[in-house]
C-alpha cells in the first residue's frame, strides 16, 4: 500500500515532520502488508499443525490425522506438541519470521544461521573461555545440531520418556550460555520449563498446568500500565481485518490526524484485554475439581482468537495456538488434577523460581531479565533500540557472516527505492507510536546533529541481520551487539550512534535510556518521565508541545 506522501521527499524532512507524516500514515494503513503475506502466515500455521499430527502418528497409542478427534488430547500428543513447538521455534520458523519481522530474503533465520560457524552470537558471559566470544565456533554449531537431533528423536519415539527429554533439557541452557539468542528463540520460558516437568515428575500434568497459568497471569499483569493502550492502537491500525473498517482505525485515536494518542475506546479495549488475560487463569483456578472448565475455555479462545486475528508484528501465531491447545490438553482433559499435587519437591521449587521469581524480578528490574522470561508479552513496555548509521557506513555490516542482507537490499528485488523508503518509514512509525517510542523525539536530536545524514534502523532489524533471530527482545541489540559488530566491522567514531531505551520498571514512573557510540562508548544516560511522554504526540519534542 503506497504511502500518502512521496517517500523520497519525506526522507529530506526534519525528524518531527517525518514522524508526523509516517505516524498519520500508519494510523490508517498500518504497515501496508499485502494480503498475500497473511496467506503465507496462514500456510505456516497449517504446516505447523500438520507436521505435529504426523509426528503423533508414530505413536501406536495415538493415530493418524484421520482419527485426530480421538487422540488429540492424549498426554503423548501434548508432549509431542511441546517438543515440536520448541523445535519449530528454534529452527526460526515461528516467532520472528517472515516479512512482518523484517525478513524478506530469506524469510527465515534460525537454522540457516545457527548452523554456520563464524556467525555472530550473543553469549551470556562474553569473556567466558570456550563458551564466550562473539563468533560462533564448531562447538556451538554441534551443540545446536545436537538439540535439533534430540528433539527429532523425541518426536519419532513411539512413547517418549525421560531418556528422550533429558538431552533437550540439558542442551537448551548450555546453548543459552553460549548464545542467549538461541535460548530465547526456543521460547524456553514456556517449552523448556514444561520439559522440566516431563523429566522431574512422573505425574507431570500439574506442573504443566502451572506453566500455562503463569503465562496467562503475567502476560495480563504486565499490561497494568500506560503503555498497553498504544499497543491497541498500533495493532488495530495494522490488523488484516480492520483494513476494511477505516472508521474503527480512526476511532482508536483521540482526534485523527491531529491527536494520535489513544482514545477512550482504545483505552477501554486495553483495560478489557488486560482483564480478560488475567481472568483466564483465574477462571481455570476457580473451576471446581472434576468439572470441565467451560467458562475458562471460552475466555481463553476469545483471548487467543483476538490476538491471532490481528496478526501482530513479531507474529507469535503458532505460539498462541500452542497455548490454546495446552488449555484443552491439560485443563479440559484433566479437570481432576490439582496444582497442590505438586507438593514440595525439587520441581515445585524450580517452578516457583521460573514462574514467580523471574517474572517478578523482570517487572521490578527489567534490565536484568528478558521480557520473554518475565512473560511480559505484547504489553508495549519493552526495551528497544534505534541505530543511526552515518552515510553508507552500514555497508561495513557486509563484513559479517549475516543471516540476511541490509534490509534495503532484501527488498530491492520486489520494490523500487521510493517504496522501500516508505516501508522503512512505517517501521519508524511503528516504534514512535508506542508510548516508549515517544522518547525518540527527544533522544535522536541528542544523538546526532542532522537526521538527514543518517540511515535510521530499528534495533530489531539489526538483530535479525546480525544474530539470526529477533522478536522484540531489546537486550539482544544493546551494548553486547554493539561490541560484537565493532569487533568485526571497525566503525569510526560518529559513524554509528545507538539509542538504547529500557522498559519502565514496576512502581517507577520513568524510562531509562542511554545514547551510545559504537566506537567511543556511552555518550549520555538518563531517565524520561512517563507522564511527560503521555502528554505528547508520538513525533513531538518538548519544545513543540
CB 200 within 8 A of CB 208: no
What b/e sequence results for 15-36 when a residue is b if at least 16 CB atoms lie within 10 Å of its CB, and e otherwise? bbebbbbbbbbbbbbbbbbeee
The chain-wide mean pLDDT, for the chain, equals: 95
pLDDT in tens, 441-459: 999 999 999 999 999 999 9
> What is the pLDDT averaged over residues 342-355?
95
SS3 383: coil
Residues 6+ apart with CB under 8 A from 131: 123, 125, 177, 178
Count how many residues are written for the chain.
545
pLDDT in tens, 353-400: 999 999 999 999 999 999 999 999 999 999 999 999 999 999 999 999
pTM, two decimals, is: 0.95
pLDDT at res. 543: 61
> CA Rg, the chain, in Å?
23
- Count the helix, strand and coil residues of the chain and give each as a percent rounded to the nearest 5: 60, 10, 35
pLDDT in tens, 387-444: 999 999 999 999 999 778 899 999 999 999 999 999 999 999 999 999 999 999 999 9
Over 80: is that where the pLDDT of 350 sits? yes
Over 50: is that where the pLDDT of 115 sits? yes
> What is the pLDDT averaged over residues 274-296?
97
pLDDT at res. 492: 97
pLDDT band, very low/low/confident/very high, at 545 (cuts 50, 70, 90): very low
Amino acid at each position: 500500500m503506497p504511502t500518502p506522501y512521496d517517500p523520497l521527499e519525506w526522507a529530506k524532512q526534519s525528524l518531527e515532520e517525518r514522524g508526523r507524516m509516517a505516524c498519520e500514515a500508519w494510523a490508517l494503513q498500518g504497515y501496508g502488508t499485502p494480503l498475500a503475506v497473511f496467506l503465507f502466515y496462514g500456510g505456516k500455521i497449517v504446516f505447523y499443525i500438520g507436521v505435529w499430527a504426523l509426528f503423533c502418528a508414530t505413536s501406536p497409542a495415538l493415530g493418524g490425522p484421520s482419527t485426530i478427534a480421538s487422540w488429540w488430547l492424549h498426554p503423548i500428543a501434548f508432549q509431542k506438541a511441546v517438543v515440536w513447538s520448541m523445535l519449530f521455534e528454534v529452527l526460526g520458523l515461528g516467532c520472528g519470521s517472515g516479512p512482518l519481522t523484517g525478513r524478506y530474503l530469506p524469510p527465515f533465520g534460525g537454522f540457516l544461521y545457527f548452523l554456520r560457524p563464524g556467525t555472530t552470537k550473543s553469549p551470556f558471559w562474553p569473556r567466558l573461555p570456550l563458551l564466550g566470544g562473539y563468533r560462533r565456533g564448531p562447538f556451538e554449531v554441534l551443540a545446536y545440531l545436537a538439540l535439533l537431533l534430540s528433539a527429532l528423536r523425541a518426536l519419532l519415539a513411539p512413547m517418549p520418556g525421560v531418556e528422550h527429554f533429558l538431552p533437550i533439557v540439558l542442551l537448551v541452557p548450555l546453548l543459552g550460555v553460549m548464545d542467549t539468542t538461541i535460548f530465547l528463540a526456543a521460547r524456553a520460558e514456556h517449552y523448556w520449563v514444561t520439559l522440566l516437568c516431563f523429566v522431574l515428575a512422573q505425574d507431570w500434568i500439574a506442573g504443566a498446568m502451572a506453566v500455562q497459568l503463569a503465562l496467562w497471569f503475567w502476560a495480563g499483569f504486565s499490561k497494568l500500565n500506560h503503555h498497553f493502550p498504544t499497543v491497541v492502537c498500533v495493532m488495530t491500525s495494522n490488523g488484516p481485518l480492520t483494513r476494511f473498517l477505516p472508521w474503527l482505525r480512526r476511532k482508536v485515536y483521540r482526534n485523527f490526524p491531529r491527536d494520535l494518542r489513544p482514545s477512550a475506546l482504545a483505552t477501554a479495549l486495553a483495560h478489557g484485554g488486560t482483564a480478560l488475560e488475567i481472568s483466564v487463569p483465574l477462571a481455570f483456578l476457580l473451576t471446581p475439581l472434576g468439572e470441565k472448565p467451560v467458562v475458562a475455555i471460552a475466555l481463553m479462545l476469545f483471548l487467543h482468537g483476538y490476538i491471532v486475528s490481528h496478526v501482530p508484528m513479531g507474529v507469535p501465531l503458532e505460539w498462541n495456538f500452542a497455548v490454546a491447545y495446552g488449555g484443552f490438553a491439560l485443563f479440559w482433559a484433566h479437570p481432576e488434577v490439582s496444582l497442590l499435587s505438586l507438593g514440595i519437591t525439587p520441581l515445585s521449587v524450580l517452578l516457583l523460581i521460573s514462574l514467580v521469581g523471574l517474572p517478578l524480578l523482570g517487572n521490578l528490574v527489567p534490565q536484568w531479565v528478558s521480557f520473554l522470561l518475565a512473560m511480559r508479552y505484547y504489553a508495549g513496555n519493552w526495551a528497544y533500540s534505534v541505530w543511526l548509521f552515518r552515510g553508507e557506513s552500514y555497508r561495513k555490516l557486509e563484513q559479517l557472516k549475516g543471516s540476511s542482507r541490509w534490509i534495503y537490499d532484501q527488498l530491492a528485488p520486489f520494490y523500487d527505492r521510493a517504496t522501500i523508503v516508505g516501508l522503512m518509514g512505517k517501521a519508524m512509525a511503528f516504534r514512535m507510536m508506542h508510548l516508549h517510542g515517544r522518547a525518540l523525539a527527544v533522544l535522536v536530536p541528542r544523538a546526532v546533529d542532522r537526521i538527514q545524514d543518517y540511515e535510521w534502523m530499528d534495533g530489531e532489524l539489526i538483530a535479525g541481520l546480525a544474530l539470526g533471530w529477533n522478536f522484540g527482545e531489546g537486550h539482544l541489540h544493546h551494548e553486547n551487539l554493539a561490541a560484537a559488530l565493532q569487533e568485526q566491522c571497525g566503525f569510526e567514531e560518529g559513524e554509528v550512534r545507538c539509542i538504547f531505551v529500557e522498559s519502565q520498571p514496576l512502581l517507577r514512573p520513568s524510562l531509562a535510556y542511554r545514547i551510545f557510540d559504537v566506537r567511543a562508548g556511552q555518550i549520555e544516560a538518563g531517565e524520561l518521565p512517563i507522564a511527560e511522554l503521555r502528554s505528547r504526540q508520538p513525533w513531538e519534542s518538548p519544545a513543540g508541545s
